[in-house]
């Protein structure tokens, strides 16, 4: 199904997409806050989509008695790469919002199960991008529960910057910490782990690039059945460098913490932060490369500015290492 941004009818409050952070402590606060949000939706004849960890799903199911307007989805089906999650939410909300019915989502990310600092950083960036992805939607809203029991104020503040609204005591209000505007403050990319290999590429070098990456990935422990996915991803990114990044680029390869990484650098610029995160239209010509790469890799980091060019890191799990 093609994902589209709904435009009519608007939510009863007439507002744009509402994206609320809900800090809570413990199961009791989780239940009280999410159930209040759900009952608000039901009273307004809105549908609800819930994607929370399995233990929280059991808690909510026990309180809702198979309410037909509430749909529970398995967030793990979208995979661990946050670059896939916007398309997944768009599909879930579209399915429940047939005929323009308003839909509320409840999405709790398993923050403490983040695989690495890079993965955690991309999860936060995904939350910020949700505001851009669904900005035109007047029929969707989202509540993001966050367990603040460990009192890590820095982590809570970082996540708070990604949410325009915050919910406390059953009410939502503008979030003063929200990072508004079009610029996102990325975490700096970690330096490559020694030893790493570096090589330049240009026209005619794709076969050599694929061969080099395949050998290094196999040596690093990437499973054999995943090597073709990596080869396709490497081809797509290197081809984009050659076509749109000045005709050449630089590749770095290394292994670190059971992960194999390929980093591509070129002088091109990707102006649209949503590139690769929304499912391409069936009749779309071109523009599918980054979408495909997000589907094939375990994590994709993109940093692109007009003055510094573009850096793209592809992560592939290497559990055999």
CB burial class (10 A; 0-12, 13-18, 19+) of residue 104?
buried
Residue 179 pLDDT exceeds 50: yes
Condensed to tens digits (0 to 9), the pLDDT of residues 165-177 reads 999 888 899 999 9
- What 3-state DSSP class applies to 71? strand
Topology of the domain covering 18-174: Rossmann fold (3.40.50)
φ/ψ of residue 133, rounded to 5: -60, -40
* CATH of range 197-317; options 3.30.565.10, 3.30.360.10, 1.10.940.10, 3.40.50.300: 3.30.565.10
Helices (runs of H) and strands (runs of E) counted in the chain: 8, 12
16 pLDDT band, cuts 50/70/90, is confident
Condensed to tens digits (0 to 9), the pLDDT of residues 25-36 reads 999 999 999 999
Q: Where are the domains of the chain?
A: 18-174, 197-317
CA 110, CA 254: separation in Å to the nearest integer?
Answer: 27
- Average pLDDT taken over every residue of the chain: 90
CA 30, CA 36: separation in Å to the nearest integer?
Answer: 10
CA 255, CA 193: separation in Å to the nearest integer?
Answer: 7
Look up the pTM and report it.
0.90
Condensed to tens digits (0 to 9), the pLDDT of residues 195-241 reads 999 999 999 999 999 999 999 999 999 999 999 999 999 999 999 99
Condensed to tens digits (0 to 9), the pLDDT of residues 269-311 reads 999 999 999 888 877 766 789 999 999 999 999 999 999 999 9
39 or 194, greater pLDDT: 39
């Amino acid at each position: 199904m093609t994902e589209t941004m709904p435009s009519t009818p608007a939510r009863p409050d007439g507002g744009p997409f509402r994206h609320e952070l809900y800090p809570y402590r413990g199961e009791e606060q989780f239940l009280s806050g999410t159930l209040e949000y759900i009952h608000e939706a039901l009273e307004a004849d809105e549908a609800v989509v819930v994607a929370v960890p399995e233990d929280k799903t059991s808690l909510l199911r026990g309180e809702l008695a198979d309410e037909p307007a509430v749909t529970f989805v398995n967030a793990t089906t979208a995979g661990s790469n946050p670059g896939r999650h916007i398309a997944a939410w768009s599909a879930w909300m579209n399915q429940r919002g047939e005929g323009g019915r308003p839909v509320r989502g409840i999405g709790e990310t398993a923050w403490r199960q983040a695989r690495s600092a890079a993965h955690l950083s991309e999860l936060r960036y995904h939350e910020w991008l949700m505001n851009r992805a669904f900005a035109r939607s007047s029929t969707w809203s989202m509540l993001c529960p966050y367990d603040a029991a460990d009192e890590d104020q820095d982590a809570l503040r970082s996540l708070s910057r990604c949410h325009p609204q915050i919910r406390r005591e059953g009410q939502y209000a503008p979030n003063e910490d929200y990072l508004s505007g079009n610029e996102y403050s990325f975490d700096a990319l970690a330096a490559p782990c020694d030893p790493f290999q570096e090589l330049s590429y240009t026209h005619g070098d794709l076969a050599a690039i694929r061969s080099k990456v395949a050998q290094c990935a196999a040596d690093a422990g990437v499973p054999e059945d995943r090597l073709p996915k990596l080869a396709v991803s490497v081809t797509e990114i290197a081809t984009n460098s050659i076509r749109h990044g000045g005709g050449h680029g630089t590749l770095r390869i290394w292994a670190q913490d059971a992960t194999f990484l390929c980093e591509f650098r070129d002088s091109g610029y990707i102006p649209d932060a949503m590139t690769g995160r929304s499912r391409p239209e069936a009749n779309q010509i071109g523009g599918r490369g980054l979408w495909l790469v997000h589907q094939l890799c375990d994590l994709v980091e993109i940093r692109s500015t007009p003055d510094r060019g573009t850096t793209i890191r592809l992560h592939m799990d290497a559990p055999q290492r």
